[in-house]
Amino acid sequence: MSSNSQLEKERVPSIVILDFGSQYSELIARRIRETEVYSIVMGYSTSAEQLRELAPKGIILSGGPNSVYEEGAPLSDPEIWNLGIPILGVCYGMQVMVQQLGGRVTSAIGKAEYGKAPLHVDDPTALLTNVESGSTMWMSHCDAVEELPDGFVRLARTSNTLEAAIALHSRNFYGVQFHPEVVHSIDGMIMIRNFVYNICCCQPNWTTSAFIDEAIANVRSQVGDKKVLLALSGGVDSSTLAFLLKKAIGNQLTCMFIDQGFMRKGEPEFLMEFFDEKFNINVQYINARKRFISKLQGITDPEEKRRIIGTEFIRVFEEESIKLGPFDYLAQGTLYPDVIESSGTNIDPKTGDRIAVKIKSHHNVGGLPKDLQFKLVEPLRMLFKDEVRKVGRALGLPEEIVGRHPFPGPGLAIRILGEVTDEKLNCLRDADLIVREEIKQAGLYHEIWQAFAVLLPVCSVGVMGDQRTYDWPIVVRCVSSEDGMTADWSRLPDSLLEIMSNRIVNEVQGVNRVVLDITSKPPGTIEWE
Ligand code: XMP
C-alpha cells in the first residue's frame, strides 16, 4: 500500500509531547486535547530543528522508566533549550531538564514516592496559579532532584520530595515530579490549563466541528474525483469513517460489509438498514457465511481459528473489491494510538532505545494486507477513541453505534471455545442477546465496558421438567475497564443475574446451565477464545 502526503496537510500541533517511554504519554496528549488544544506525541529524540519547523507553542517532556544519570539514558536534543518555546518536564522529563541545564538528579533511596501525596505550594503563580496548597498529586518516582540548575526556583514540595515543582520563570521552563495528567491528581487539569493557556498562550481551537471541517476539506483535496472503498464492520471507527466520507465525497464512496457469519443477532440486518437504506450510503453486502464456517470445520485451536478467519477475510475482500472496483483509494479507520505505536516512539526500559511495540497479534487479525494496490485515506489517524466517538455523534451516528461495547473482529467465533458450528453459533447468538438486553434493561450498559456470553463445548447434566438434560453451559462475562488493557469483573446485582440465568436456560435451546466469570484481567483476558 502506498502512503500519501497526508501529514503535510495536517494541522500544526500547539503542544508537542516528547515521549520518554512513559505509560502516560498518550494520556498527557488526551488531557491537553480535552482543553481544546491540539497536541501530538513525538519521539524524545526529535531534533530541535524539527521542532523549530513545526513551531509548537509549547513542549512537554513526558515521564519515562529510566534514570537520567545512568549511561545511555534518553535525553533531549540539547538545542531544544534554545528554541525560546515554553517547556514543561513531567517526572523523568523534569529530571532531563534539570540534568541538561546543569542541576543534579540522584536516586531517592528511602524517599521514593508512589501514589497520592499532598502538594505544599510555595509559589502560587504561573504553573501553579489556582492550584490549592495541600491538594493531592499522584507521584511515581524513585529518583529526585538534588540540586536545581542556576536560576531555577522551587514552586512546591511534598513531605518526601523537596523539589516537587520547579521553574525558571524567565525562560518559561517548568518541571513537576508528579503526574498532573492522571485523575488522582486533583488539581492536575488546572495545572495543564495554566501551562497551555497562560504560559504557552494557546487558542482553544481543537474542537469537533473544526476537526470535521478540516477532515472533509483534506479528504476532498486528497481524493479529487476518484473512487474510495471502505470495509465497514459496524464498529465505531468504520461507521464514523463512513459518515465522514459520505459527507466529504458522497457517491464516490463504496462500503463493503463482509458478513462472516459471526455477528450478533440481528446485526447484519441492522447495519444494512441503517447505512444503506436510512442514510443512503452505498453498502455492498457480501454474504460469506458458508465460506467461513466451512473453513473452520474441525478447527479447535484458538490461534488457528483466528488465522483462518483473518486469511479468509483478506481473500473475500480481494475478490470482491475486484468485482466492485476498480478503486483508487482504500479508507481505513486507523486511530492515533496505532500511529504512535507503529511509529516506534516507545522505549526499551533497559536500553532506552526506541522500539516499536508489538500490538497484540489478534488485534491485527481481520485487518487488511499491506500489499494491496490502494492509496490510503485515513482521516481519523490523529484521533483518540473518545474523539472518534465525539465526531461520530456530531455527524449523526446514533448512540446504538457510538456507545456500543467493543466487539472483536472474528466476532462470536472466538466466544465459542473449540470447533465453531452453526448450531453453537445460533445458541450463542440467543444467549448473547439476552445478556445484552438485560444489561440494557437494568440501565447498566454504558457503565460496563463489555457484557457478553461465551459458549463452552462441554456438556453437563441438568433436569428440565421430568427430563434429564445433557447440554452446554453459557458463561456470562461482564467487565469494567478503561481501555481493555486491564479489567475487573463487574459486580452485577443478584436480581439481574437471576433474570439472565432464568431466561438463558429457558429460552436458549441446548443450554442447561449459566455460570459467571469472576476473573479480573490480568490474570484472565476479557475474551475466552
Ligand atoms: P483480551 O481478550 O485480550 O481483549 O483481554 C482485550 C480487548 O480487545 C478486544 N479484542 C479484539 N478487538 N479485534 C478487535 O478489534 C480482535 O480480534 C479482538 N480480540 C479481542 C476484546 O473484546 C477486548 O475489548
Segment (H or E) for 88: strand 87-90
Residue 410 lies in a domain: no
The last residue of one of the domains, among 371, 402, 433, is: 402
| Closest to 243 (Cα-Cα) out of 41, 362, 337, 379 | 379
Round the CA-based radius of gyration of the chain to a whole number and report it. 26
Segment (H or E) for 473: strand 467-480
- Binding site membership of 410 for ligand 1 (Cβ less than 6 Å): yes
Please name the residue whose Cα sits nearest to atom 19 of ligand 1: 408
d(CA 436, CA 476): 10
> 105 pairs with which residues across the strands?
145
Per-residue model confidence as pLDDT tens for the chain (529 residues): 333 434 345 789 999 999 999 989 999 999 999 999 999 999 999 999 999 999 999 999 999 999 999 999 999 999 999 999 999 999 999 999 999 999 999 998 777 778 899 999 999 999 999 999 999 999 888 899 999 999 999 999 999 899 999 999 999 999 999 999 998 999 999 999 999 999 999 999 999 999 999 999 999 999 999 999 999 999 999 999 999 999 999 999 999 999 999 999 999 999 999 999 999 999 999 999 999 999 999 999 999 999 999 999 999 999 999 999 899 999 999 999 888 876 644 444 444 443 333 323 334 434 566 666 788 999 999 999 999 999 999 999 999 899 999 999 999 999 999 999 999 999 999 999 999 999 999 999 999 999 999 999 999 999 988 899 999 999 999 999 988 888 999 999 999 999 999 999 999 999 999 999 999 999 999 999 9
Residue 259 lies in a domain: yes
Which grid cell is 447?
457503565
Residue spans of beta strands (DSSP E) within 14-79: 15-19, 39-43, 58-61
Which grid cell is 179?
503526574
The last residue of one of the domains, among 199, 232, 262, is: 199
pTM of the model: 0.87
Q: What is the pLDDT of residue 337?
A: 87
319 and 375 fall within a common domain? yes
Which grid cell is 357?
511495540
Q: What is the pLDDT of residue 358?
A: 32
502 and 470 fall within a common domain? yes
d(CA 287, CA 291): 9
Q: What is the CATH number of the domain that holds 386?
A: 3.40.50.620
355 and 237 fall within a common domain? yes
Q: Looking at the 3D structure of the chain, how many domains does it have?
A: 3
What amino acid is encoded at 478 in this protein? Answer: C
Q: What is the CATH number of the domain that holds 34?
A: 3.40.50.880
Answer yes or no: 184 catalytic: no
DSSP 8-class letter at 487: B
Q: From the candidates 26, 91, 200, 255, which is the catalytic residue?
A: 91
Of 307, 309, 338, 362, the one to substitute when testing ligand 1's pocket (max ligand atoms within 8 A of C-beta) is: 362
Contact between residue 342 and residue 283 where contact means Cβ atoms under 8 Å apart: no
Residue 524 lies in a domain: no
Rounded (5°) CA angle 400-405-407: 110
Answer yes or no: 179 catalytic: yes
36 and 141 fall within a common domain? yes
Which grid cell is 154?
522551587
Contact between residue 17 and residue 29 where contact means Cβ atoms under 8 Å apart: yes
Residue 409 lies in a domain: no
98 and 165 fall within a common domain? yes
Residue 414 lies in a domain: no
- Binding site membership of 403 for ligand 1 (Cβ less than 6 Å): no
443 and 377 fall within a common domain? no
195 and 238 fall within a common domain? no
- Binding site membership of 510 for ligand 1 (Cβ less than 6 Å): no
227 and 352 fall within a common domain? yes
How far the first Cα of the chain sits from its last, in Å, is 31
- Binding site membership of 66 for ligand 1 (Cβ less than 6 Å): no
- Binding site membership of 527 for ligand 1 (Cβ less than 6 Å): yes
User: Domain range for residue 142?
Assistant: 6-199
Beta carbons within 10 angstroms of residue 298's beta carbon: 5
For the purposes of burial, counting CB atoms within 10 Å of the CB of 524, is it exposed (0-12), middle (13-18) or buried (19 or more)?
Answer: middle
341 and 258 fall within a common domain? yes
| Closest to 177 (Cα-Cα) out of 169, 15, 131, 185 | 185
Q: From the candidates 113, 181, 378, 387, which is the catalytic residue?
A: 181
> 355 pairs with which residues across the strands?
346
d(CA 377, CA 12): 19
Which grid cell is 46?
526529535
Q: What is the pLDDT of residue 405?
A: 94
Q: What is the pLDDT of residue 235?
A: 93
Answer yes or no: 91 catalytic: yes
327 and 221 fall within a common domain? yes
For ligand 1, the distance from its centroid to the CA atom of residue 429, given in whole angstroms, is: 18
379 and 442 fall within a common domain? no
Please name the residue whose Cα sits nearest to atom 6 of ligand 1: 484
395 and 430 fall within a common domain? no
**Minimum-distance ligand 1 atom for the alpha carbon of 410:** 17
> 472 pairs with which residues across the strands?
511
Residue that is written with C-alpha cell 516499536 in the block: 356
For ligand 1, the distance from its centroid to the CA atom of residue 283, given in whole angstroms, is: 25
Please name the residue whose Cα sits nearest to atom 4 of ligand 1: 526
The last residue of one of the domains, among 140, 166, 199, is: 199
Contact between residue 497 and residue 516 where contact means Cβ atoms under 8 Å apart: yes
Please name the residue whose Cα sits nearest to atom 16 of ligand 1: 408
| Closest to 255 (Cα-Cα) out of 315, 330, 200, 188 | 330
d(CA 242, CA 255): 8
| Closest to 416 (Cα-Cα) out of 456, 358, 466 | 456
Of 436, 479, 483, 526, the one to substitute when testing ligand 1's pocket (max ligand atoms within 8 A of C-beta) is: 526
- Binding site membership of 408 for ligand 1 (Cβ less than 6 Å): yes
Residue 70 lies in a domain: yes
Residue 21 lies in a domain: yes
- Binding site membership of 526 for ligand 1 (Cβ less than 6 Å): yes
d(CA 306, CA 364): 10
- Binding site membership of 184 for ligand 1 (Cβ less than 6 Å): no
Contact between residue 413 and residue 304 where contact means Cβ atoms under 8 Å apart: no
| Closest to 308 (Cα-Cα) out of 264, 262, 266 | 262
Residue 416 lies in a domain: no
